Amino acid sequence: MKLLQQTGLFLASALMIVACGPGGNTVETREAEEVGEASGMTLSVDASTSKINWRGYKPSGQHYGYIPMKTGEVMVEGESLTGAKFVFDITALEIEDLEKGSENYGKLSGHLQSDDFFDAANHPEATFELTKVEPFSAGEIEDNDEFETDNTPKKDSELAQGSPTHWISGNLTMRGTTKNIKFPAVVDVSNGGVTAKAGFNIDRTNWGLMYGDESSATDKAKDQFIYNTVSVEFDIKANQ
């Protein structure tokens, strides 16, 4: 595991974020950043109960499900989180709005695993490594504008869990591409464990998931595109 500049309480995770922009209260995606050497005690994440929930949007509907975690650990020193790494199993991605075993489930599952999306045959895992923890500043979370339809993606301010305590930054790797993402989280380090909850959006095209790219839609009125925005939520617990 690698280290990280300590700045107080925290945690991180997650997978899959939105446009680059100024700092402050903005969920954002940037170029990958260096991960330092972590210090302190290692806590294990219960992979059997930890997962990333996802929700994708198109004008005519939505699909949602989860990606299970394969392995996860966090490093803590006192009441500060100093590092974290999570590995998620793309090949085990689940769709919860369709009946498992049905024809539609099979079609969508196969499409998501294909080169149009995750290219799971060549990139079966996604990883997240913590790079920075900052106190959450007062004020509203800044939202991005979206093309309005009956299924406009949820806003970052709607997805944020409770009252965020920290801004978490980390390198998210999917489909062979690594980007640094920043998002708000509710984090608690106490009683020998760590809990973290977060909800935010990512722009899938930053990781090469280009199928149905809305920016290339010549006529959005025809609804023939998929929103680039994907909503992500997680609830993670780590103990000795």
pTM across the whole model: 0.87
In a domain, 3, yes or no: no
In a domain, 13, yes or no: no
What is the full DSSP assignment across 4-46? -B--SS-------------SSSB-EEEE-----B--SEEEEE-
Reported as a single tens digit per residue, the pLDDT across 22-56 is: 356 899 999 999 997 888 899 999 888 888 999 99
Domain that holds residue 87: 28-239
In a domain, 8, yes or no: no
Residue pair 167/182 in contact by the 8 Å Cβ criterion: yes
Rounded CA-CA distance 111/125 in Å is 17
- Say how many domains are in the chain: 1
Query: How far does Cα 85 stand from its chain's mean position?
Result: 13
pLDDT, residue 218, reads 87
Reported as a single tens digit per residue, the pLDDT across 78-98 is: 888 889 999 999 999 999 999
In a domain, 18, yes or no: no
pLDDT band of 186, cuts 50, 70, 90: very high
Rounded CA-CA distance 159/53 in Å is 12
- The CATH number assigned to the domain holding 87 equals 2.40.128.110
Rounded CA-CA distance 166/202 in Å is 18
pLDDT at residue 210 greater than cutoff 50: yes
In a domain, 12, yes or no: no
φ, ψ of residue 215 in degrees (nearest 5): -70, -15
In a domain, 224, yes or no: yes
In a domain, 111, yes or no: yes
Residues 6+ apart with CB under 8 A from 182: 17, 26, 27, 28, 29, 30, 167, 168, 169
In a domain, 53, yes or no: yes
Q: Mean pLDDT for the chain?
A: 88
pLDDT at residue 5 greater than cutoff 80: no
